[in-house]
Amino acid sequence: MAGLDIRTHLDQLSLNAGKKARLYRLLYGAGPANGTLMILPIDQGLEHGPRDFLGAPESLDPGFQFRLALDGHFSAIACQIGLAEKFYPEYAGQVPLILKLNGKTEIPADNEPLSPLTASVEDAVRLGADAVGYTLYVGSPRQDEDFAQFRQIRAEAERFGMPVIVWSYPRGAAIEAKGGKNTVYAIDYAARTAQELGADVIKVNVPNVQADLSQAPKAYQREWTLDAALSQIIRSGGRSLVIFAGGEKASEEETLAKARQCMDSGATGLIFGRTVWQRSYHDAMTLAEEIHKLLANYPG
Amino acid sequence: MAGLDIRTHLDQLSLNAGKKARLYRLLYGAGPANGTLMILPIDQGLEHGPRDFLGAPESLDPGFQFRLALDGHFSAIACQIGLAEKFYPEYAGQVPLILKLNGKTEIPADNEPLSPLTASVEDAVRLGADAVGYTLYVGSPRQDEDFAQFRQIRAEAERFGMPVIVWSYPRGAAIEAKGGKNTVYAIDYAARTAQELGADVIKVNVPNVQADLSQAPKAYQREWTLDAALSQIIRSGGRSLVIFAGGEKASEEETLAKARQCMDSGATGLIFGRTVWQRSYHDAMTLAEEIHKLLANYPG
Amino acid sequence: MAGLDIRTHLDQLSLNAGKKARLYRLLYGAGPANGTLMILPIDQGLEHGPRDFLGAPESLDPGFQFRLALDGHFSAIACQIGLAEKFYPEYAGQVPLILKLNGKTEIPADNEPLSPLTASVEDAVRLGADAVGYTLYVGSPRQDEDFAQFRQIRAEAERFGMPVIVWSYPRGAAIEAKGGKNTVYAIDYAARTAQELGADVIKVNVPNVQADLSQAPKAYQREWTLDAALSQIIRSGGRSLVIFAGGEKASEEETLAKARQCMDSGATGLIFGRTVWQRSYHDAMTLAEEIHKLLANYPG
Amino acid sequence: MAGLDIRTHLDQLSLNAGKKARLYRLLYGAGPANGTLMILPIDQGLEHGPRDFLGAPESLDPGFQFRLALDGHFSAIACQIGLAEKFYPEYAGQVPLILKLNGKTEIPADNEPLSPLTASVEDAVRLGADAVGYTLYVGSPRQDEDFAQFRQIRAEAERFGMPVIVWSYPRGAAIEAKGGKNTVYAIDYAARTAQELGADVIKVNVPNVQADLSQAPKAYQREWTLDAALSQIIRSGGRSLVIFAGGEKASEEETLAKARQCMDSGATGLIFGRTVWQRSYHDAMTLAEEIHKLLANYPG
Amino acid sequence: MAGLDIRTHLDQLSLNAGKKARLYRLLYGAGPANGTLMILPIDQGLEHGPRDFLGAPESLDPGFQFRLALDGHFSAIACQIGLAEKFYPEYAGQVPLILKLNGKTEIPADNEPLSPLTASVEDAVRLGADAVGYTLYVGSPRQDEDFAQFRQIRAEAERFGMPVIVWSYPRGAAIEAKGGKNTVYAIDYAARTAQELGADVIKVNVPNVQADLSQAPKAYQREWTLDAALSQIIRSGGRSLVIFAGGEKASEEETLAKARQCMDSGATGLIFGRTVWQRSYHDAMTLAEEIHKLLANYPG
């Protein structure tokens, strides 16, 4: 199968028993259950605000995404503590939970971003979550605070056998000066940084291979096909599993094409949010089924 | 009943026993006792200073508000630790207490607000309080400190079974640049943020639907009726109960009209302070009775 | 009213705000709500084993006692952590909870009794309880361990504003040698001991005034009427509120007579278990109503 | 279905999200996956010593039981920390783990038994276990130490959302004096004690209804059918799920008959060890399949 | 090679990286360096007192054993904290250290033995040790204290990645009553107990197959060859590596024969003390060389 040769397998990760048990459930016990990941994130209400829901009013109720995660057979739902506390109990055990441990609003300026902790690894254990999520702003002038904060999370997660998924985002004024957060350079560095700091799974965005690389390091100043860029980024994740974000809502065709290209390049899975749930329930379910069909082609 | 279809009910909140017992007492054991909330806040002496009392000299004595909370059959009185320590003991058990856990003066500039802790959840337990209050400045450049501080409160409150009421206020220079703290955009984001971070009850202000939305995100750049705005904000609270502040003193008629509009839109209740107690005791009691009559129409 | 002159009132207890708020709820917010207590204990399943339920099969299901506590308008239900965790949530806030913090089975010999901790004051806070219960075996050869254990509970309860009800039982080989656990001497000493160690409420058994006092201290070696004995014991409770146990099942008439005599002697209330719930639901409700009528005569 | 009316359901347990998620996985995500439990215990090597393996040499290697748990589709395997650390990692996530937290050898006399801790709830979290097991010796003269030790485990388990399974065994000299550990009296008391102290699941032995009850409390001194005894014991478990041990090796027919009788009486499931694994792998698998077929008749 | 098929290999142990790195050094970086262990213990001065040195005066100076460990190319030296603090520094890194963490004198009676802690896992880390040793008295009436103490050591060792070697000794009055500490029954139970509690390596004594088994469990009441007994014990160690003690001084031939038999039966190695160092330095070195030659035949 395309991509399989560079895809990292659970058994290669040298995980302790708890991390392995929990990742196994995400990879083989739920969702496509073939070693791929299909995660539904609903943290945009905090990160972007309710504006993301105004065009698809059903989606304003978090119950919408929880039902969708269950009915659409997602590998897991990823959300903040507030939603987990109020909505997860009725789904407990039926769909795995990924608890996001930090977050922020988009209201203040983003030139020195830092995502403060909103919950703890122990909260995740208490809620029965199978992984925790952490947003790392690679390149932020406040990376020292970010790294220190992440170190605590990584250590706690190791102690409790909880897999760590890093939302690895290049961000901040220095990144902007070097071509912005969507260059292959920026995302590649973010993937490697997450690997270096101890991520078990790395979430990155799909790069824009048209983005201007003239201010990026010399080694990146060449033409990149999307395939080459994706492959480079996935390899930069090392033995951390790499999954790709869906980004803004796109058509069903575009969404599936993006999914296919990520998987062909060796990704372990997808974490598609808005492009899935900014639809009617019926349309979201239809798209989820299509993604399932696609992922069935990438057993690992 | 109007609004009832979107009003969240206690049984939907997945609360632990302690949170449920205490919220039950606020909703069904005191005040209107029909599932609505009618809270009397007296934290303005810290937040605004004694200027708020100068026009209604009786109100300068906190005993005034405590008596009013009891005689006016409020669901609870909300205040800082100092007032709770000195005035609550003689009312203990007769009227529920909500202990505000943070606060600040209005003296320094408000472009980077943060409300520091003034008391602990354990103080609230010791005083026999039935909830704690926390002011979150959504959008403040210091949101990282605010979130981190709130996280501790949320975790302690979970441990002790203490409901958390978030005074969720959009605030700071970035909010001002996007139309100010009274836009539906700002308040809507504040409601969602409080839900995401784990509020059990969310206190917000009634938006000004005339406020300029031209600098707000595109999705908000349209005409809003007050009904539509209130409904949107309440829905952004998800399974957290939403209550509305009364704001500055208004006439009895205006106050009751505001109350009615909030309740019709699906609010769980009201937290009306100045507009109630910046009156003579007799007038405040009269207004409290009128609010009682109104809330009797919204059983939940 | 008979007994009122020696009955201790909440305001005499110098309690901190939390203890006062919670005791107020027990005394005036639930049950007879007139300053008396009518508590339903269901801790016999641990203390005596299921044998207590065999003659009244409905009562084996703890849901029976919880429903009875609610429907029969008891001041509170008292039980161990296991029942509280599994049954209280659906009653949370509707009927006050007293969490028993220690307990034991009757299986091993009782000559050196000690009741080990089964839960903590913090558990009680988390569950939204309004008091904690502690069984003190006054006179046990292991009283040093018992006192030390109680000291921790008392200190925690003080810190959290949680009223402490002491099940004060004379017990052990030395008590047997002095006439047994039912003498006025033994129970009087138990009441005073509970007062001395810091009980807010003291639960004792009604003494048997026929019991042999020849081995008791000289001062007790005289005839005692039950009135005199009860009065003595209640006065030995000092400013701790004294309530009496119902003991084994008796007829409705006997039960009400015992209740009347306790109240006439100045008791604050009753904690009647088996004699109430070892009946059909209908009969138990009928008896509860009768007790209510009786307690209405003793406002405090 | 027979027994269903008295069988407790997960939704009745008022569990927090983590406990619910983990129990859901045991009840509906593995094994029969229909709400029943079929647990394979391999703690006999510590409790009885290797003598249990001498007649079935394959079973000496713990890998035998781990493979059997997986291939035989058990709900979970239950073992001590040493086996979990060395054998579970290669099965992590494929079969749920129940970590036994205490244990002892059978070498010293059993008249005052206490099972000391061998691992912690945090170990269970780290290993990715879905429940912890604790052996409580009901009636032991050392019950005070046992209760105190269990209290810590219960509190930790509550904090981490980890279900607690109590191996509730009547034991010690006082139990022997009252007819021994196999009477319906002794086991009934053990079931109630586990409920009172906070078990989520209770493991008991099937009583011997021929055992002498003449020294048991009066209420038990009558003829008991096995059905009546099992039903009584299950009801004494209240809202804790009750499962039955298999005991010594019996024939396939006897084993299945015992299983059927337990399930017909309302048990949630079975924890059959020696009678399953003291066979060749082939025969053990055959028996496991038969038990599966039987449990399929008791959906809950 | 004989025994290899049942010998456990490092890669089967599911160890964390630190435990694996340290055990690898013992198995492949020092001593025979072929996967076998040849450990020199010098803890007898505490356990037996200086009487062990009187017949071989050179051996009274711990420097003797340290030099021997280095010159004789042992896999490690095992000793108490006092010797480690004073003698190890000049050998640090040249020969691996195993720090014994508990010990006792033989002066008091041995019917209820417990070996108290004399050092911590952190001491072992500080000293650069590659493993810790713990003496467990299997079957002692004080096994509850022993298990609890060992649990702390195991947990600390897990945290620090420090391998744990259990000196697993059947001991105490109950063991004596069942045939004594040298029966295959007793030693077999000891091996299994160490496995169950989490040993990485288990040190046991070679059983006396002539010992009286008439009071042992039925399953053991048969003839045992030494080969069968050793094999049974090693299998009872499961995935923990099993090594054998040398016991009292014997002739070179007897010592080598014992070594050969243990290795042929599948042992991982030898921990021979007195029989090695109760000789002149020259003779001890000669014997060490012979053992080396023998172990070279058992690569793993």
Q: How confident is the model at residue B11 (pLDDT cuts 50, 70, 90)?
A: confident
Chains that touch D (3 or more CB pairs under 8 A): A, B, C, E
Architecture label for domain C2-295: Alpha-Beta Barrel (3.20)
B178-201: string of b/e by CB count within 10 Å (b at 16+)? bbbbbbbbbbbbbbbbbbbbbbbb
Chain segment A241-253, per-residue pLDDT in tens: 999 999 999 999 9
E189 a catalytic residue: no
**Would the pLDDT of B1 be above 50?**
no
Sign of CA dihedral C244, C246, C247, C253: positive
Q: Note whether E16 contacts A16, CB cutoff 8 Å.
A: yes
Position D8 scores a pLDDT of 83
Question: Which listed residue (E137, E203, E220, E298) is catalytic?
Answer: E203
Q: Note whether D17 contacts B14, CB cutoff 8 Å.
A: yes
Across residues E257-271, what is the average pLDDT?
97
Q: Note whether B196 contacts A90, CB cutoff 8 Å.
A: no
Which residue ranges make up each domain of chain A?
Answer: 2-295
The CA distance from D81 to D127, in Å, is 9
- How many helices (H) and strands (E) chain D has is answered by 13, 8
Provide φ and ψ at C73, rounded to 5°. Answer: 50, 50
The CA distance from A269 to A260, in Å, is 10
B104 a catalytic residue: no
Position A215 scores a pLDDT of 97
Q: Note whether C126 contacts B16, CB cutoff 8 Å.
A: yes
Across residues E9-25, what is the average pLDDT?
93
Q: How confident is the model at residue C14 (pLDDT cuts 50, 70, 90)?
A: confident
Residue B36 contacts residue B295 (beta carbons within 8 Å):
yes
Provide φ and ψ at C161, rounded to 5°. Answer: 65, 35
H, E, C per residue of chain B: CCCHHHCCCHHHCCCCHHHHHHHHHHHHHCCCCCCCEEEEECCHHHHCCCHHHHCCHHHHCHHHHHHHHHHCCCCEEEECHHHHHHHHHHHCCCCCEEEECECCCCCCCCCCCCCCECCCHHHHHHHCCCEEEEEEEECCCCHHHHHHHHHHHHHHHHHHCCCEEEEEEECCHHHHHCCCCCCHHHHHHHHHHHHHHCCCEEEECCCCCCCCCCCCCHHHCCCCCHHHHHHHHHHHCCCCEEEEECCCCCCHHHHHHHHHHHHHCCCCEEECCHHHHCCCHHHHHHHHHHHHHHHCCCCC
CA distance, residue D257 to nearest chain B CA (Å): 41
Over chain A, what is the mean pLDDT? Answer: 96
Chain segment C160-210, per-residue pLDDT in tens: 999 999 999 999 999 999 999 999 999 999 999 999 999 999 999 999 999
Chain segment A153-188, per-residue pLDDT in tens: 999 999 999 999 999 999 999 999 999 999 999 999
Q: How confident is the model at residue B155 (pLDDT cuts 50, 70, 90)?
A: very high
Position A9 scores a pLDDT of 85
- The per-residue pLDDT string of chain D (300 residues; one tens digit each, 9 = 90 and over) reads 444 566 888 988 889 999 999 999 999 999 999 999 999 999 999 999 999 999 999 999 999 999 999 999 999 999 999 999 999 999 999 999 999 999 999 999 999 999 999 999 999 999 999 999 999 999 999 999 999 999 999 999 999 999 999 999 999 999 999 999 999 999 999 999 999 999 999 999 999 999 999 999 999 999 999 999 999 999 999 999 999 999 999 999 999 999 999 999 999 999 999 999 999 999 999 999 999 999 999 998
Provide φ and ψ at C13, rounded to 5°. Answer: -90, -5
Chains that touch E (3 or more CB pairs under 8 A): A, D
H, E, C per residue of C7-19: CCCHHHCCCCHHH
Over chain D, what is the mean pLDDT? Answer: 96
Q: How confident is the model at residue B39 (pLDDT cuts 50, 70, 90)?
A: very high
**Would the pLDDT of A3 be above 70?**
no
Position E88 scores a pLDDT of 97
**Would the pLDDT of B12 be above 90?**
no
Chain segment A108-144, per-residue pLDDT in tens: 999 999 999 999 999 999 999 999 999 999 999 999 9
Searching chain C, which residue's CA lies closest to the CA of residue D219? C51
Chain segment C63-116, per-residue pLDDT in tens: 999 999 999 999 999 999 999 999 999 999 999 999 999 999 999 999 999 999
Preferred mutation among D43, D85, D101, D248 to probe E, highest tally of E CBs within 10 A: D85
Position D12 scores a pLDDT of 85
Facing residue for B127 by CB, picked from C18, C28, C29: C18
**Would the pLDDT of E158 be above 70?**
yes
Residue B159 contacts residue B178 (beta carbons within 8 Å):
no
Position E9 scores a pLDDT of 86
**Would the pLDDT of C4 be above 80?**
no
Position A19 scores a pLDDT of 97
Q: How confident is the model at residue A276 (pLDDT cuts 50, 70, 90)?
A: very high
CA distance, residue D10 to nearest chain E CA (Å): 32
CB-based contact, D92 to chain E, within 8 Å: no
Position E11 scores a pLDDT of 86
Residue A81 contacts residue A118 (beta carbons within 8 Å):
yes
**Would the pLDDT of C1 be above 50?**
no
Across residues E271-276, what is the average pLDDT?
97
Position A5 scores a pLDDT of 64
With contacts defined as CB-CB under 8 Å, which chain E residues touch D81? Answer: 154, 196-198
Across residues B91-100, what is the average pLDDT?
97
The CA distance from D129 to A21, in Å, is 8
Q: Is E38 helix (H, G, I), strand (E, B) or coil?
A: strand
Over chain B, what is the mean pLDDT? Answer: 96
Q: Note whether B128 contacts C22, CB cutoff 8 Å.
A: yes
Facing residue for C85 by CB, picked from D175, D193, D198: D198
Tokens describing residue A2: 């395309």
Q: Which of residues 209-228 of D touch C (CB under 8 A)?
A: 217-220
pTM of the full predicted structure? Answer: 0.96
Position B5 scores a pLDDT of 62
Over chain C, what is the mean pLDDT? Answer: 96
Position D5 scores a pLDDT of 63
**What ipTM score was computed for the predicted complex, to two decimals?**
0.94
The CA distance from C120 to C128, in Å, is 13
Position E5 scores a pLDDT of 63
